[in-house]
Amino acid sequence: MTRRLIKKLHMYIGLLNFCNILVFGIAGLAATFHWGQGRKPAFIAPVRYENFTAPPGLTDKQIADQIFNKLHLPLTGPVSAWDVHRDADGNMPLDFYTAAGIHRVVYLPKENRLKIEDTRSSLWFFLDDVHTVTDLDQLDWRMRWWAYYNNFALWSLSGMAISGTYLWLSSRLGYRIARYSFAGGTAVFIALYILTR
């Protein structure tokens, strides 16, 4: 009875997470085969400009936060303090990263405006980026749901590994290929752990 229940749970959890596990695999392949392309965007929107004058007395980080609040950029959050800087001309370049692409914003204080360039990632890099979203404190609700989805898949994978091992131990412990698979996978893990620890 217990074995039958675990077998059903193992199967249903696998089916429930089929798409997410497939994304994990595609993301790994994208990282392996496409990094040489330098992550070129699949689409770059025409550059646009918006008026913006920073109130006097603000720090660069406060100015960057005001720019973020003004633009209401989807799928992203404010730029971290260590990413805020000025270039040699006194302009402030800000990159707002998302899984879908990058919003490149440059504050041009001498012109009192923002230069905005929106880029879109290819499907490969979108999947590569979105599969790493696990922080549940995302500002955008859509990214927060990706984080819940990914966390669920990670816990499910752990459960499937445990239930799969149980199903093997409770049925075909003598099955030679299963023993070799388990021993080989464990040996590779231990070897890599020792070599990198």
pLDDT tops 60 at residue 35 = no
165 pLDDT above the threshold of 80: yes
| C-alpha distances out from residue 196 to 32, 60, 189, 191, Å | 20, 40, 11, 9
Question: Domain check: are 144 and 178 in the same one?
Answer: yes
Residue 59 pLDDT > 60, yes or no?
A: yes
Query: Both tokens of residue 113?
Result: 């405006």
Partners of 95 in the β-ladder: 104
In a domain? residue 127: no
State yes or no: pLDDT of 171 exceeds 80.
no
pLDDT at 136: 92
Whole-number mean pLDDT of the chain?
88
Report the distance separating Cα 105 and Cα 103, nearest Å: 6
When pLDDT is cut at 50, 70 and 90, the band that residue 37 belongs to is low
Q: Are residues 49 and 28 in the same domain?
A: no
- The answer to the question of residue 126 being in a domain is no
105-133 residues labelled b (16+ CB within 10 A) or e (exposed): bbbeeeeeebbbbbbbbbebbbbbbbbeb
Say what the pLDDT of residue 24 is. Answer: 84
Q: Are residues 30 and 65 in the same domain?
A: no
Does residue 30 have a pLDDT over 90?
A: no
| Domain extent for 30 | 2-37+133-196
Number of Cβ atoms within 10 Å of the Cβ of 92: 20
Average pLDDT over residues 134-149: 92
> Do 168 and 144 belong together in one domain?
yes
- % of the chain at pLDDT higher than 70: 94
Per-residue model confidence (pLDDT) at position 88? 94
- Quote the pLDDT of residue 166: 84
Number of domains in the chain: 2
Which of 143, 151, 149 minimizes the C-alpha distance to 126?
143
Q: Which pLDDT does position 67 carry in this prediction?
A: 97
pLDDT at 197: 85
User: 72 and 30, same structural domain?
Assistant: no
What residues are paired with 181 via a beta bridge? none
Q: How far apart are CA 168 and CA 162, in angstroms?
A: 10
The whole-number average pLDDT for the span 121-138 is 88
Q: Which tens digit of pLDDT belongs to each residue from 79-111?
A: 999 999 999 999 999 999 998 999 999 999 999
- Domain-located, residue 111: yes
**pTM tops 0.85:** no
Task: Identify each DSSP E strand in the chain by its residue range.
Answer: 43-44, 48-51, 92-97, 102-108, 113-120
Average pLDDT over residues 108-134: 91
Nearest to 23 by CA among 116, 126, 152: 126
Average confidence (pLDDT) over 159-178 = 80
